[in-house]
Structure 1
Amino acid sequence: MKPPDPGPVRPVEVITLPNEVQQHDHDHHQLVIALKGYSEFSIEGLQNLIVPGQGCIVTASSGHAFNGIGESEILTLNLPNQSNLDKYTHERIEPIFNNNHYFKIDNQFQCLLQLLVKEIRQSPDDLLVTDACKNTIIALLQRHVNTEYPQKLIPRSRINMTIIDNFIIQQISTKITVAQLAGCVFLGESQFHLLFKQQVGLTPHQYILQMRFNLAKELLEDNSLTLASIASASGFANQSSFTHSFTKLQGTSPSKFRH
């Protein structure tokens, strides 16, 4: 899963995911299996976190977003348009790719997968090898997966706070809305507000305000900066609004806090 490439789609790829959220869709089915670290996916609003031994099915034309958390790596298998498949192959894989879902693979399959991935790493440009590995994985997938596991045990309401914090830091001198934050993690505004409060213990507005005050406190240590410039840099409408809010929450004015 990477930005669209005008070249031919490789049957199998080992990919290091970026920590920044990426989003796209493609006209072929895709099977994803986590190999290393933590990876976050949102497929047509169906969110989940996958780790080694788990994966997901992305059906053709399904919009999906994804990112790694820290150092993460995935294996992707790209399926051709079903009209190009023979009848037997189509009937064999159709149950696997009939909808978007997450799954867990058993230990036996994980051991085999490690060997296949090793071959793919050694011969990434050998289409005969990579295609054979892809077909082997798909042929055995039905017998070695549990599609019920993730829905019960993988947290689907986790918000990636690194993405949220980075966005707030980048936009802190401007007005920041809940809708903007929700869009960063591909959630609806009301759902984001509810999940955020459960996870952080503050509303998004309170959290943003807290980060504005933290920045303002740091800037107040620099006596060369005026209160008006600090207010602007921290995202307050003006010095009066900054002083009023700061005094209300901190119990002292910015000037007294500085001294």
Structure 2
Amino acid sequence: MTESDSDVFSLPDEADTHDHDYHQLVVVLDGHTDFDIQGNSKQLHTGEGCIVPSSDGHAFAGLGDNRIMVVNLPIPPQKSITDQEYEIVSRLFDRAAYFQLNPRLQILASALSGELEQYPDDPMLARACGNTLLSSIRHQIDNKEVRLRGNQLDIDKLDQFIELNLSRRVHIDQLANFCFLSVSQFHERFKERTGITPHQYLIRKRIERAQSLLSDGFPPIQVAEMCGFSSQSAMTNLFTQTLGITPLRYQKQHPKY
């Protein structure tokens, strides 16, 4: 794919307006941002993003805590890019657009951003991460209808998505979308496959992570937040109902070291 570079950072609360002579792909990793491209404005949330063609004026501002990943593509392209690759990029950036990543690409964007933050001064890594994300998003945008063909329940991949987002509020419709199923189809197939409902499965996953974190010595109030419970008391109630023991007593009886 084309030579590009990428970066992860937060947008300031103060709005800024500019344009530039390179294409730009923006993905919101966490939080919320405001974007306006040539008068077409939209508030972007986690997992959403936009395509900004070169020289299209745009304004942006962060809304509280936020993290975005930006991929910049120079125009004209680097010499290493082929004519075919240039044509693909040109079609993708033919006009400004907003998009929402499917859950699989949210996992990818999160993983790539983690690598960028781990090694911020590695230009080869920045190019590789940028090209990977760009190519994957291009396939999603080009194949919207094709993506509906899946209709399969891959528990292993579903677990990866749940584990990545367990500290947040995971909605059943997100899980259904991840499997390319309607909510009713997902609920039916999930229960057939696992014997429990998706909601019960999420609770089990939260309890399992809470057990691990408590054994690691994390305080219960922090464990509740890390496991996506609405409060420590909510975790305590569910934990006690499920295991017959309070989180604090469990922690005392099951130290990892």
Q: TM-score, normalised by structure 2?
A: 0.51
Q: 2:45 maps to what in 1?
A: 51
What is the root-mean-square deviation in Å for CA atoms of aligned residues?
Answer: 1.9
Alignment of 1:1-259 (within 5 A): 11-84=5-78, 85-145=81-141
Q: 1:78 to 1:35 in 2, by over 3 A?
A: same
Conserved 8 A contact 1:101-1:147: no
Aligned residues: 139
Deviation above 3 Å: which 4+ runs of structure 1? 82-85, 145-148
> In the TM superposition, what whole-angstrom CA distance separates every residue of 1:101-141 from its partner, at most 9, and x where no partner exists?
10011011111111111111111110111111111111111
Q: 1:92 to 1:137 in 2, by over 3 A?
A: same
Structure 2 regions of 5+ residues with no counterpart? Answer: 145-257
Structure 1 regions of 5+ residues with no counterpart? Answer: 1-9, 149-259
Conserved 8 A contact 1:32-1:56: yes
Conserved 8 A contact 1:34-1:53: yes
SS in 2 for 1:50: strand
In 1: Cα distance, 2:112 partner to 2:18 partner? 27
In 2: Cα distance, 1:115 partner to 1:83 partner? 26
Conserved 8 A contact 2:29-2:109: no
Q: Percent identity?
A: 35
In 1: Cα distance, 2:143 partner to 2:72 partner? 20
Conserved 8 A contact 1:30-1:59: yes
Query: How far is 1:36 from its partner?
Result: 1.2
> In the TM superposition, what whole-angstrom CA distance separates every residue of 1:152-205 from its partner, at most 9, and x where no partner exists?
xxxxxxxxxxxxxxxxxxxxxxxxxxxxxxxxxxxxxxxxxxxxxxxxxxxxxx
Query: How far is 1:52 from its partner?
Result: 1.1
User: Which structure would you say has the larger Rg?
Assistant: 1
Q: TM-score, normalised by structure 1?
A: 0.51
Conserved 8 A contact 1:106-1:145: no
